Amino acid sequence: MKQKKNLTLSKEYRRYFISLLKSAFEKVGILDKQLSKKEYKPYTFSVYLGEEFNIDKEIQSGKIISLLFSSGDPVIVTSFYNGILELKKKNCIVINNVNLYINDIKLMPYLKINSTSAIFKTLGVAVLNDPNSSADDFNKWYIIPTDNLERFNECLSQRTNSRYQFLTKKAGIHPIKLSLPDGSFIKETIVQHYGGYVRGFRGIFKLEGTPEILQFVYDYGLGIRTGQGFGMLEIVKKE
């Protein structure tokens, strides 16, 4: 996507792109049927704000913004693609009172995971919470790998399998574990989101599990709030 001048956004910029996704799905008539309920969303996305990206009290993007979208459901992928094509016909869309032009749409090659471990990198921020903690305790409710890796992996396996069963309609438990071998790193990241704050992390790390569950987190995102622009991953190295 391209605009004629740099785009000024609030630090809660993800909500603009959530609205863009909803507009795309509305164009093909699936929003009310599949996506409007407050349940796990069958996709994840991330926004790259360009090489000129700068953050202070507000966010200053570059003139070219990339929206990355992923789902393990071919119906969702096709619907999103067709919806974006329909939006492109409008010549421009408006985000934060700035005209935004959709100038290019690319379908990336499908990447199949056949191994039981791989090195991943976050695209943006990943978020996970601990259901045994109080939501009033910010630093315990949101958990990152460097807090307590054992407890993090318990929460990760629980949350991932809950989403897996809901979205794939398949039974069975697939344990999944994050580890931090040489060359990996985790950086705590706190972001503003819908009037509050979310604690998450960025980094490079190893995930171990069945090929099916690794494929799931690659397709649908890692952690929670994946439909709000968190948890998208890229593969650094298959093992």
pLDDT band at 129 (very low <50, low <70, confident <90, very high): very high
Residue 178 in any domain: the answer is yes
Do 45 and 125 sit in the same domain of this protein? no
Do 137 and 190 sit in the same domain of this protein? yes
pLDDT exceeding 90 applies to what percent of the chain?
59
pLDDT score of 109: 85
Q: Determine the Cα angle at 98 with ends 96 and 101, to 5°.
A: 120
pLDDT at 146 over 70: yes
pLDDT at 155 over 90: yes
Do 121 and 148 sit in the same domain of this protein? yes
Could you tell me which residue, 185 or 59, shows the higher pLDDT? 185
Tokens of 225: 């709030």
Nearest to 61 by CA among 112, 129, 20, 10: 10
pLDDT at 98 over 70: no
As a whole number, mean pLDDT of residues 64-84 equals 91
Q: pLDDT tens for residues 215-224? A: 999 999 999 9
Cβ atoms of 80 and 71 within 8 Å: the answer is yes
Compute the chain's Rg from CA coordinates. Answer: 18
Could you tell me which residue, 177 or 21, shows the higher pLDDT? 177
Residue 1 in any domain: the answer is no
Q: pLDDT tens for residues 43-57? A: 999 988 766 556 665
As a whole number, mean pLDDT of residues 96-108 equals 77
Read off the CATH number of the domain in which 37 is found. 3.30.70.1890
Q: What are phi and psi of 123, to 5 degrees?
A: -105, 95
Across the chain, what does the average pLDDT equal? 87
As a whole number, mean pLDDT of residues 126-145 equals 95
pLDDT exceeding 70 applies to what percent of the chain?
83
Residue 146: give the domain boundaries.
117-238
pLDDT band at 74 (very low <50, low <70, confident <90, very high): very high
pLDDT band at 95 (very low <50, low <70, confident <90, very high): low
Residue 64 in any domain: the answer is yes
Do 126 and 224 sit in the same domain of this protein? yes
Which of 43, 68, 100 is where one domain is finished?
Answer: 100
Q: Is the pTM of this model over 0.85?
A: yes
Q: What are phi and psi of 170, to 5 degrees?
A: -110, 145
b (16+ CB within 10 A) / e for 31-54: beeebeeeebbbbbbbbebbeeee
Residue 2 in any domain: the answer is no
pLDDT score of 158: 97
Which of 20-24, 51-55, 139-143 holds the top average pLDDT?
Answer: 139-143
Do 86 and 142 sit in the same domain of this protein? no
Do 126 and 206 sit in the same domain of this protein? yes
Quick check: helix, strand or coil at residue 86?
Answer: helix
